[in-house]
Amino acid sequence: MTATILSSSGEQRGQRSAFTLIEVLVVITIIAILAALLMASMGSMANTRNRTTGMNNMRQVGIAFLGYGNEHNQVIPGRVVDGDASSPKWPAVLAGYASGTYNHNTDYLKDVRTYIAPGYTDVDLNQPNLTQYLVSNSENHTSWVMNGYNDVGAKTVPVEIRLTAFTAATNTILLGIHKRALLHFYMDMDDGDHKNALELAAYETGSNYLFADGSVRFITQTEYGKPSPTGTGIYGDWLWLADKSNPLPP
């Protein structure tokens, strides 16, 4: 017969009391909090990664714009009739598809996937017709919308502008991220101005912008909407110059 060993208090040694309901709930709560923090951290990391990749993509498009200008007497792809599918728009021009078929001699953009803002697009990058989809002349399927700075004449007349015409290139926005539903190539065509064309918070608190000097900056929605302290911009310090009444200086 085996004797039961008792402690000095009379309790059986080796016997472990079960977790109480409160203890179980505390553990579950801690796990839930840690999981939420982890998910938030992962989401923030993904957003930062997408924003950075988007800036790099936009920078490549900027290089293409400047490269085109350098070979065309400083003239960059201008605004053409938005609704005319036969008119080559800037995505096709920069990618070498101005004539409808690829021409490597006019290819200023080496990868059309740089037309995409990662994390802010529904475009399937693995689709077999991706290139033709992104260089369409009928609808803008890229993530970018071009500045309306060149809308200084009739909207039905093609308008061009030279890089040398920019007197404040570091503060003149060339491209921004458009709202998902917008299919316009140019921000100022018909009903597309900065108020209803731009997505000001594509990456949580702000969006990426390409400037006329080729630089790319992330501007918060709050910063974008601030009144201009210098008086140089009509929408804050950023010279969208979308209205015909506010053309670029000669």
Residue 58 · residue 216 · CB < 8 Å: yes
Mean pLDDT by 10 residues, the chain (250 residues): 49 58 82 77 74 93 93 83 72 86 81 90 82 90 81 59 78 87 74 71 91 91 66 49 43
Query: Residue 203: which region, alpha, beta or left (left: phi > 0; alpha: psi -120 to 50)?
Result: beta
Q: Give the separation between CA 164 and CA 82, rounded to whole angstroms.
A: 25
196 sits in which H/E element: helix 194-197
Q: Which residues contact 84 (CB under 8 A, 6 or more apart)?
A: 137
Exposed e or buried b per residue across 45-61, where buried means at least 16 C-beta atoms within 10 angstroms of its C-beta: eebeebbebbbebbbbb
Residue 23: predicted pLDDT: 78
Taking the complete model, does pTM exceed 0.95, yes or no? no
Residue 84: predicted pLDDT: 64
Q: Could you give the C-alpha distances from 114 to 49, 125, 130, in angstroms and in order?
A: 15, 11, 12
Residue 69 · residue 163 · CB < 8 Å: yes
**Residue 203 has what DSSP assignment?**
B
Q: Is 193 helix (H, G, I), strand (E, B) or coil?
A: coil
Residue 62: predicted pLDDT: 94
Q: Which residues contact 48 (CB under 8 A, 6 or more apart)?
A: none
